[in-house]
Structure 1
Amino acid sequence: MKITLTTERGNIFPLDVSLELTLGDLRALVEMEVEGLGNPQSVLLLHNMQPMQDMDKALSEYGIQEDDVIVILEQAEHGAPPPPVQSQPPQSVLQGQPLPPINWGDIAVPSATSTQAQAPVNPDDPDVVRRQLRSNPYALSTLQQRNPPLHQAAINEDPRVFREAYQQHVQRVRDVERDRIRMINADPFDVDAQTRIAQEIEQKNIEENMTAAIEYTPESFSRVVMLYVGIKVNGVHVKALVDSGARATIMSECCAERCNVMRLVDKRFAGVAYGVGTQTIIGKVHLGQIQLGNDFLTSSFQVLKDQSEDMLLGLDMLRRHQCCIDLKDDMLRVGTTGNSVPFLKESDLKEKEEIEKQHALASMNDEDASMAEAIAQSKTESAGPSTSTASQGPASFPEKSIQKIVSAGFSREDAVQALREFNGDVQNALISLAAKSLTF
């Protein structure tokens, strides 16, 4: 049954209740739904201008029917009793006089989410969009997959960053839509128009495929936690990556120093490791002991110079001990001992991720510094020949070397220039001058 509650201020609250609901329960519902009541205990409910005061009576006993209106009246404060309510209709009604007209436009109808009147909201306002995104985790996650730059701006604490990024995004959307309309109105037999139509169809298919993936396999967009186990090498705790795709077990140089195994590295096995890129192999530890849970396992491992992972358990070690990667129970099972070790959770790897980020930033800074040094050196070398030529004289090279070239029929200036090009190598300087002198 639907009823309507109205207050003295003209606010209206539609409710769906049962006829068996007691007045006490209705009063409690009013206290929750209606905001701005001063003292809930001083509220009086009126039906057909008659007060309802027996809290144990059901609504049906008061004669309330479908679409009836119940008035919420706030009694006077200071504990004063409510003003007497007439038990009879007003005299104007009894005498047949019409009631004063009601201006229904002045009655404020609340929205479904708020009982207070709200100002009109512009849905295109960047601040409104930002608040809506930050209050909806699902929308924020979807935005992260579809538009990472705009997602970063949305989670930024400075609203000006999102405002600027959102305006740029809106402008790009408008430009794309304008180009699409121009393309539709263009000559259908134009090659460029056909190409753009094909690209739009392809992009539409990609968006539909991505939408279906988000709906049916949302886990494919989440971050995949790699398989790490906690081990000990010489009593030192190490977080090792389980990688069945790696041929050999490897350890970084930093980890080898922490575990005090550099003294066992056989540098005769130095070389280069090829995979995704190349890395320098310092050497090999032929026999080391790894504590995995309560088991002590033997394994050999190569020590790499520039390796981001502390240690990587490769296929050689996994095969030797008949290890099984159980993704159902999230365990690494050791077949030779029958024991199992759980994989590390994502929360256990946060410290490792922070260290990796610091190393990445440090390496980036080193690369930037190296690049700046190389650029500066290149500028110096490109600007150097004129000054070096002027500053260096014949005395820069032994007179014997200069005379040997001159005796071959070349001028002294050519001899000095050739020696300068080949860092004083007389033989190469003669060959170069002879090659230049040949004419065909």
Structure 2
Amino acid sequence: MKITVMTADERIISLDVDPQEIVENVKALLEVETQVPLQQQQLLYHGREARNNERLSSLGVVEGDLIMMTSTDIRFRTGTDNLGLNPDGSAVNPRALQQHIRNDSHLLSQLRQSDQEFAQAILGDNLDAFQNILRRRHQERLQQQRIQQEQLALLNADPFDIDAQRKIEEMIRQRNVDENWENALEHNPESFARVVMLYVDMEVNGVPLKAFVDSGAQMTIISRSCAERCGLLRLLDKRYTGIARGVGQSAIVGRIHVAPIKIGTIYYPCTFTVLDSPDLEFLFGLDMLRKHQCEIDLKQNVLRVGGGEVSVPFLQEKDIPTQFLVEEKFANQGASASAELSSAKKAGSSSTPAPSTGLSQVNSTQGSNQESKIIRLMELGFDRATVIQALTLFNGNEEQAAGYLFGG
């Protein structure tokens, strides 16, 4: 691992050492670099002198750490008080330490690559922020040191101790998870980005709409308010009322058997299930995708309809209305399981009720609850997009999302 040693005469030295190296051998390397005899060197880590027989790992030294070197020789002690660290990890003289690191272009370049936050604090003028980062990193190192000590104690525990073996198993599992996360972050960083759902511009009965294209939904859905805006409620067949069940439930107010939709420049007949849901406006489902031989081309980012006779581009995030993000929560939370549609016979009618079918990602109760959570978290000072992302990350758990927001 690489460590940085700051000497009393305002020099910064980078060393490549083994974590199990003893302090005396590190001093021997520094003697070559600084011409300060090994016996006259004092190495300080977080304000405490490191003894010659101690190993770097036992001191808690990790990759990129800073060690101060002083000397019992008066010739080498100039500036020690200015460049030292306090027991809490902060700098005795932050301005002098900041300027010292600025003067080392090699070290500054390394920091820009490995620790951008610290590099920005060094280059900035906010000494409080600089000191806070030093203190925080000190606490992180202490915490890591405690964890390492606990792990070492577990490894030295009685092999027949069931509790100890369970903790070792969990420690190994967590290490594998952390390695998997680091690999994903390095090789597949786009997997951590928020996925924007697929929307296209359509016209329903001559009214322009942003249609949510969802091949996981078994039926094409329109909300009651949207159907009213499009002038379609006059065609509503109320025999097809019931309850759509999935991650929650939503009232089905009926069905519109056929109405024109315009995709690109061509009109197509479409069947709609009408829901009394405030969180969903218009969803273009699998039934109509199949009927009109649609293709979702993610490479070209277009929806092809009618076997390719017309293509319309999927909307970019900036073109999607903010309120439509509520719809995306259903997809992000994995609410793609099929729901049940219970059709009820119209009172006094002798007609045969419509057969049951499937529906997905429809849940007005869930949407209402989620919107309440969003509002409460926004009242704590966070913007809507950040709140939605946090709730999505923790599957709608408000307390965990709040902890993540405050901790971030």
TM-score, scaled relative to structure 2 = 0.47
Pick the structure with greater CA Rg. Answer: 1
Higher RCO (C-alpha 8 Å, min separation 6): 2
TM-score, scaled relative to structure 1 = 0.44
